[in-house]
Amino acid sequence: MIPFLRVFFIGGRISYRALFNWIRPEIYIPTMLIGPVFQMLFFAYLGRYSKLADDSFFVVGNAVQASAMSGVFAATMAISNERQFQTLSSLLATPANRFAIFMGRSLPVVASGLLVSAWALLMGRLLLDFHPPLSSVPGLALVVVVSVSSCTAFGLVLGSIGMRARDVFISANLAYNLMWLLCGVNIPLDRLPGWLAQIGKLMPLTHGIAAARELAGGAGLGSVSGLVWTELGIGATYAAISFALVRFFEFEGRRRASLETY
């Protein structure tokens, strides 16, 4: 158990620092903290002009979705960058538990996503007409944790595909931008065509954003428990798919001697 925990926590932290070159403050702050604030302000003022919804609608949607930059891209790189850096063979040659190796890398990603979402919610309160009741803060915190975890699991699925695909970052960019459209971030799902709304309901963040909006409006946590459990189930499904793909591509890579070929 101790080796598992060491690989999961310590190995995950070291790998996170090794695989990303954007965690330096001069890059992280404008990319992960300043960018989401301007995104939120843009859509909030656009919503005021179009009279689509109030500021709270856009603050909650964009604050939760802001974590997707970490959840999608960082989680994708947590796996696919091993192949790009030609270190995948060495990593898979170790006897370490595969779940501990790859799932442990999700913890720093989740922590980064939580920081970004919390920052965006705070800026929404300071800069826009977003004043949720204090009683909703614990519930909002729980929903954001679940949503960020679900989004990170989705990113791990994309990263696992990167063990075989030539360029998975095209898919990551497409998925990240589709979240703006399909997850109810700035456009209510009932305004979308039915087939697009159904796709959105299968993606991470959708149910978490809906639950967070109800909580910010004064609803109790019990009234949104169904949405929270649905979001958690979607995240668990993506995590299981990710782990299954990692094991499958590892087996196929060993069999075909193609772990790091393109």
Q: 3-state DSSP call for residue 59?
A: helix
Q: Which of 56-70, 94-108, 210-224 is predicted least confidently?
A: 94-108
In a domain, 15, yes or no: yes
Residue 71, CB half-sphere, CA atoms under 13 Å: how many? Answer: 32
In a domain, 216, yes or no: yes
pLDDT at 73: 84
In a domain, 262, yes or no: no
Distance (Å, rounded) from C-alpha 158 to C-alpha 50?
35
Q: Which two tokens stand for residue 9?
A: 């926590």
In a domain, 260, yes or no: no
In a domain, 46, yes or no: yes
pTM of the model: 0.90
In a domain, 261, yes or no: no
| Domain count across the chain | 1
pLDDT at 88: 76
In a domain, 167, yes or no: yes
Does the pLDDT value for residue 122 go beyond 70?
A: yes
Distance (Å, rounded) from C-alpha 67 to C-alpha 62?
9
From the list 23, 108, 116, 104, the residue with the least C-alpha distance to 69 is 116
Does the pLDDT value for residue 221 go beyond 80?
A: yes
- Summarised one tens digit per residue, pLDDT across range 20-65 is 665 677 788 888 889 999 999 999 999 888 888 889 999 999 999 9
Containing structural domain, residue 176: 2-254
Reported for 200-205, long-range contacts at CB under 8 A and 24+ positions apart, including other chains, are 202/234, 203/154, 203/178, 203/179, 203/234, 204/68, 204/71, 204/147, 204/150, 204/151, 204/153, 204/154, 204/231, 204/234, 204/235, 204/238, 205/64, 205/65, 205/68, 205/147, 205/150, 205/151, 205/179, 205/231
Give alpha helix (H) positions in the chain: 2-5, 12-19, 25-28, 35-50, 55-65, 68, 75-84, 88-92, 98-103, 106-127, 137-161, 169-182, 194-201, 206-216, 225-256
In a domain, 218, yes or no: yes
